[in-house]
Amino acid sequence: MHKDILVIDDNPDIRFLICNILKEQNFNVRSAANYDQAVLEINKKIPDLAIIDIKLDKTDKDGIDLLKQINKKNKLTPIIMISGHATVAIAVEAIRLGAYEFIEKPFSTEKIINYVNRALENAALKQEKDIIENKLFHSFDLIGKSPSIIKIKKTIEKLSTSESRVLISGPTGSGKELVARKIHKNSMRYKEPFVILNAALLKENTYEKELFGEEFEDGNISFGALERANKGTLLIDEVSEIPFETQANVLRVLIDQKFKRLNGSKYIKVNIRLISSTSKNLKNLVENNQFREDLFHRLNVVPIDLLPLSSRTEDIPLLIEYFKEKLSEINGVQQPMIDIKNDNLYTYNWPGNVRELRNLVERLTILSANESKKDISKLMDDILLSSQTLDNDKSRLEKTFSSPLKEAREYFEKEYLVTQLKKNHGNISRTADFIGMERSALHRKLKSLGIKGIN
């Protein structure tokens, strides 16, 4: 199938020249002579590659705006920007915004052909990489033998013939999206879209636009998550972050299965399976009037609770072996020799849960090429120790700032004095000199804080 290339230039001679060059190379070529024509062509079909002139017929809209439009629809579409009188600043800005290349007019036939071929090859490689990663990451299995994981697997099996809404709860990184994907994949909607709306990443005034879409005066339409997920599954990640006012509109969609786009006049009917996820306790939010109770009950038809990794350490060896195989395949390297009996793997708190374990395995996979099992264990210990230290520092800060002034002061003094004593190998006199206290006063302070001798 011939690649589809869109050429946008308001100069008819340049446009005709580029189109002829590309047609001779057996490309399918479309063209647009101005901004409005370009928008129509882009909305008809996203091209495999676009060649866009910076300066067009509109004073308030130019090629950079079209670049942004195409990128928003598909970031993998390569875009070559052309201009006869652009500044270096404009060229740099175009590249920064995602253009593959910037060409100054006049240009040779050979140059335009080379740039087009290279851009398409580059896009094909990126697409191939994305496909591989999607197959590997998005088809990750739910790994584990712990009772909680076995229970979740059975629930997913039971949901395969159901259209029930599901609410997945669990800490960050515990695998909520993976569970949602498994539910979709096992359902009768598996051939239809699986769309994710991450409510935690949206700005406060964009929730309704991202959910319902928007209609513009020029006839353009921005499709929201509900329309994109029609006939398939919509996952609202971190559903607790949806503003209270917007929650009422979400509830109305669940009841009516229809909605209006922003600035739209017609109702859009949708048939979706809704899955929600949260790292917060929605029941507590309902009690504090921060989440609508009626919406909570609509979402919480089938609850699934994912435990933190630290509560199911029996799954760690299986997860490590699984990630080793997957990540070594992605990175094209040998599997690292990770000691799954290392005590640190089971005593570490894993604040990032399964995602943090996967990241650890990936770091070891990349950094430990040709290293011995002993060296890999040391590297792993160093990573875990560093993470544990950061986590402890964060916990100390949280404890300090959540305490009354008197308790916070005592906590800080204790931490400070223990650290200074350790630096001075428990020597009271040297510690007193360093911190500027009388030896006897330091003794009394240590006693009042319950600090005993430190070597």
**Domain map (residue ranges) of the chain:** 4-133, 148-307, 310-393, 405-448
Predicted confidence (pLDDT) per residue in 198-207, tens digit: 998 888 788 9
Architecture of domain 310-393: Orthogonal Bundle (1.10)
User: CA 446, CA 429: separation in Å to the nearest integer?
Assistant: 13
- The SS3 of residue 200 is helix
Element (H, E) at 167: strand 166-169
Rounded-to-integer distance, Cα 359 and Cα 363, Å:
6
Fold for 148-307, please state it. Answer: Rossmann fold (3.40.50)
Tracing tokens 């740099």 back to the chain, one arrives at: 92
CATH topology of domain 4-133: Rossmann fold (3.40.50)
Q: Residue 97 gets which letter from DSSP?
A: T
What is the spatial distance between Cα 2 and Cα 26, in angstroms, rounded to a whole number?
A: 7
CB atoms within 10 A of CB 306: 25
- Determine the Cα angle at 7 with ends 3 and 8, to 5°: 150
Phi, psi torsion values for 198, nearest 5 degrees: -90, 100
pLDDT of 346? 87
Return the minimum-mean-pLDDT range out of 21-35, 263-277, 401-415.
401-415
- pLDDT tops 60 at residue 274: yes
Exposed/middle/buried for 419, CB within 10 Å: 0-12, 13-18, 19+?
exposed
Other CB atoms within a 10 A radius of the CB of residue 331 amount to 12
User: Can you tell me the mean pLDDT for 363-378?
Assistant: 79
4-133 shares its CATH topology with 310-393: no
The average pLDDT across 365-372 equals 76
Question: Candidates 2.40.160, 3.40.50, 1.10.10, 1.10.287; correct CATH number of 405-448?
Answer: 1.10.10
